[in-house]
């Protein structure tokens, strides 16, 4: 089982790929990053949106797959794995508290910036 919280620290201009399970949350703690979730088929079209996350922004991952994270400037992010059953509510509260504390936006992987 992967660690429930993974920290990602990237210098500006660097890219990183990480696997995320459905229901995971990616929270930007500082800096700016572009995130490309795994492509998805929508109405016979393959979509691969590129989302921008800034400090305090959160991205909920709808489907399991690889994320490509590109730091536009030095960026600090955390990936919170979806917990089993009863712990899911606590993880959602943790991600929400981090977002509110940092004043960010909440999105899902299918929403554009």
Domain assignment present for residue 10? The answer is yes
Kindly report the CATH number assigned to the domain that includes residue 102: 2.60.120.10
Residues of the chain with pLDDT under 70: 1-3, 84-92, 104-113
Domain range for 80 = 5-108
Which pLDDT does position 1 carry in this prediction?
A: 45
pLDDT digits (tens, 9 = 90+) for 9-27: 999 999 999 999 888 999 9
**Kind and range of the H or E run holding 99:** helix 87-102
What's the domain count of the chain? Answer: 1
Give the pTM: 0.69
Domain assignment present for residue 113? The answer is no
Three-state DSSP class for residue 82: coil
């Amino acid at each position: 089982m992967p660690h429930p919280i993974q920290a990602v620290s990237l210098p500006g201009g660097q890219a990183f790929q990480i696997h995320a399970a459905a229901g995971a949350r990616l929270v930007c703690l500082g800096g700016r990053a572009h995130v490309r979730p795994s492509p998805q088929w929508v109405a016979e079209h393959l979509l691969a949106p590129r989302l921008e996350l800034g400090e305090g922004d959160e991205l909920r991952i709808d489907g399991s797959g690889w994320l490509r994270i590109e730091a536009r400037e030095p960026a600090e992010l955390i990936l919170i794995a979806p917990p089993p059953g009863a712990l899911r509510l606590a993880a959602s509260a943790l991600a929400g508290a981090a977002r509110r504390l940092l004043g960010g936006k909440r999105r899902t992987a299918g929403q554009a910036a």
